[in-house]
Protein backbone atom coordinates (compact mmCIF):
# COMPACT_ATOMS: atom_id res chain seq x y z
CA UNK A 1 0.00 0.00 0.00
CA UNK A 2 2.80 2.39 0.90
CA UNK A 3 4.66 1.67 -2.33
CA UNK A 4 1.43 2.25 -4.30
CA UNK A 5 1.00 5.63 -2.66
CA UNK A 6 4.57 6.57 -3.50
CA UNK A 7 4.17 5.32 -7.08
CA UNK A 8 1.04 7.48 -7.48
CA UNK A 9 2.86 10.57 -6.21
CA UNK A 10 5.86 9.90 -8.45
CA UNK A 11 3.58 9.49 -11.45
CA UNK A 12 1.84 12.78 -10.68
CA UNK A 13 5.16 14.60 -10.32
CA UNK A 14 6.38 13.18 -13.65
CA UNK A 15 3.24 14.43 -15.39
CA UNK A 16 3.72 17.94 -14.01
CA UNK A 17 7.04 18.47 -15.74
CA UNK A 18 9.00 21.44 -14.42
CA UNK A 19 9.55 22.42 -10.79
CA UNK A 20 7.47 25.56 -11.00
CA UNK A 21 4.42 23.38 -11.76
CA UNK A 22 5.41 20.92 -9.06
CA UNK A 23 5.72 23.66 -6.45
CA UNK A 24 2.26 24.95 -7.41
CA UNK A 25 0.92 21.41 -7.05
CA UNK A 26 2.50 21.03 -3.59
CA UNK A 27 1.10 24.40 -2.48
CA UNK A 28 -2.35 23.43 -3.81
CA UNK A 29 -2.18 20.19 -1.81
CA UNK A 30 -1.49 22.24 1.29
CA UNK A 31 -4.50 24.45 0.63
CA UNK A 32 -6.62 21.31 0.82
CA UNK A 33 -5.61 20.50 4.40
CA UNK A 34 -8.31 20.89 7.00
CA UNK A 35 -7.30 23.61 9.45
CA UNK A 36 -6.35 22.69 12.99
CA UNK A 37 -8.20 24.21 15.91
CA UNK A 38 -6.50 26.78 18.13
CA UNK A 39 -6.25 24.11 20.83
CA UNK A 40 -4.48 21.76 18.40
CA UNK A 41 -1.93 24.46 17.59
CA UNK A 42 -0.39 23.72 20.96
CA UNK A 43 3.21 23.46 22.02
CA UNK A 44 2.77 19.70 22.42
CA UNK A 45 1.83 19.37 18.74
CA UNK A 46 4.51 21.74 17.44
CA UNK A 47 7.26 20.15 15.37
CA UNK A 48 10.74 21.21 16.43
CA UNK A 49 13.42 21.68 13.79
CA UNK A 50 11.28 23.56 11.30
CA UNK A 51 11.97 27.17 10.32
CA UNK A 52 8.20 27.70 9.95
CA UNK A 53 5.57 27.01 12.57
CA UNK A 54 4.41 23.41 12.08
CA UNK A 55 1.92 21.38 14.08
CA UNK A 56 1.11 17.69 13.73
CA UNK A 57 -1.75 15.89 15.42
CA UNK A 58 -1.62 12.11 15.66
CA UNK A 59 -4.79 10.10 16.24
CA UNK A 60 -5.58 6.40 16.19
CA UNK A 61 -8.43 5.06 14.09
CA UNK A 62 -10.76 2.30 15.31
CA UNK A 63 -8.76 -0.15 13.19
CA UNK A 64 -5.51 0.82 14.92
CA UNK A 65 -4.10 2.89 12.05
CA UNK A 66 -2.53 6.27 12.67
CA UNK A 67 -4.26 9.30 11.22
CA UNK A 68 -2.19 12.46 11.00
CA UNK A 69 -3.39 16.00 10.56
CA UNK A 70 -1.15 19.02 10.27
CA UNK A 71 -0.81 22.69 9.57
CA UNK A 72 1.83 25.36 9.06
CA UNK A 73 2.07 29.10 8.68
CA UNK A 74 3.96 28.67 5.36
CA UNK A 75 2.24 27.62 2.12
CA UNK A 76 5.00 25.34 0.81
CA UNK A 77 5.35 23.67 4.20
CA UNK A 78 1.59 23.02 4.32
CA UNK A 79 2.09 21.30 0.99
CA UNK A 80 4.97 19.21 2.31
CA UNK A 81 2.76 18.18 5.22
CA UNK A 82 0.06 17.17 2.72
CA UNK A 83 2.59 15.03 0.81
CA UNK A 84 3.62 13.26 4.00
CA UNK A 85 -0.01 12.74 4.95
CA UNK A 86 -0.75 11.22 1.55
CA UNK A 87 2.06 8.74 2.12
CA UNK A 88 1.58 7.63 5.71
CA UNK A 89 -1.75 8.74 7.19
CA UNK A 90 -4.06 5.78 7.68
CA UNK A 91 -1.28 3.19 7.89
CA UNK A 92 -0.45 0.92 10.82
CA UNK A 93 2.17 2.22 13.25
CA UNK A 94 4.60 -0.58 12.34
CA UNK A 95 4.51 0.44 8.65
CA UNK A 96 5.19 4.09 9.46
CA UNK A 97 7.90 3.39 12.06
CA UNK A 98 10.01 1.53 9.50
CA UNK A 99 9.47 3.93 6.60
CA UNK A 100 12.01 6.55 5.54
CA UNK A 101 9.69 9.20 4.12
CA UNK A 102 12.50 11.62 3.30
CA UNK A 103 14.30 9.03 1.17
CA UNK A 104 11.01 8.06 -0.47
CA UNK A 105 10.17 11.67 -1.29
CA UNK A 106 13.70 11.99 -2.67
CA UNK A 107 12.39 9.84 -5.51
CA UNK A 108 10.25 12.85 -6.45
CA UNK A 109 13.35 15.05 -6.61
CA UNK A 110 12.24 17.06 -3.60
CA UNK A 111 15.53 17.06 -1.72
CA UNK A 112 17.38 18.51 -4.71
CA UNK A 113 14.78 21.25 -5.16
CA UNK A 114 14.14 22.41 -1.60
CA UNK A 115 16.22 24.84 0.40
CA UNK A 116 18.26 23.30 3.21
CA UNK A 117 15.85 24.82 5.75
CA UNK A 118 12.85 23.23 4.03
CA UNK A 119 14.70 19.90 3.72
CA UNK A 120 15.52 19.99 7.43
CA UNK A 121 11.90 20.82 8.22
CA UNK A 122 10.66 17.94 6.07
CA UNK A 123 13.04 15.59 7.88
CA UNK A 124 11.80 16.89 11.26
CA UNK A 125 8.16 16.31 10.28
CA UNK A 126 8.88 12.80 8.98
CA UNK A 127 10.86 11.92 12.10
CA UNK A 128 8.02 13.17 14.32
CA UNK A 129 5.61 10.87 12.48
CA UNK A 130 7.99 7.93 12.87
CA UNK A 131 8.50 8.69 16.57
CA UNK A 132 4.73 8.83 17.14
CA UNK A 133 4.35 5.57 15.22
CA UNK A 134 7.05 3.86 17.31
CA UNK A 135 5.34 5.06 20.51
CA UNK A 136 1.95 3.72 19.32
CA UNK A 137 3.51 0.42 18.20
CA UNK A 138 5.04 -0.10 21.66
CA UNK A 139 1.76 0.75 23.39
CA UNK A 140 -0.20 -1.80 21.31
- Looking at the annotation, which residues are catalytic? 50
**64 dihedral zone (left: phi>0; alpha: psi -120 to 50; beta):** left
End-to-end CA distance of the chain: 21
Quote the distance between the C-alpha of residue 106 and its chain's center: 13
CA distance linking residue 139 with residue 133, whole number of Å: 10
Planar angle of CA 105, 107, 113, nearest 5 degrees: 75
What are the phi and psi torsion angles at 92 (to 5°)?
A: -70, 150
Amino acid sequence: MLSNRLDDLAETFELLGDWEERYRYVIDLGRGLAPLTDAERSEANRVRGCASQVWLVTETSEEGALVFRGDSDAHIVRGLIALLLQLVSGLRPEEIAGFDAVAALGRLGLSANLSSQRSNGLAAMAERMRRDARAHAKAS
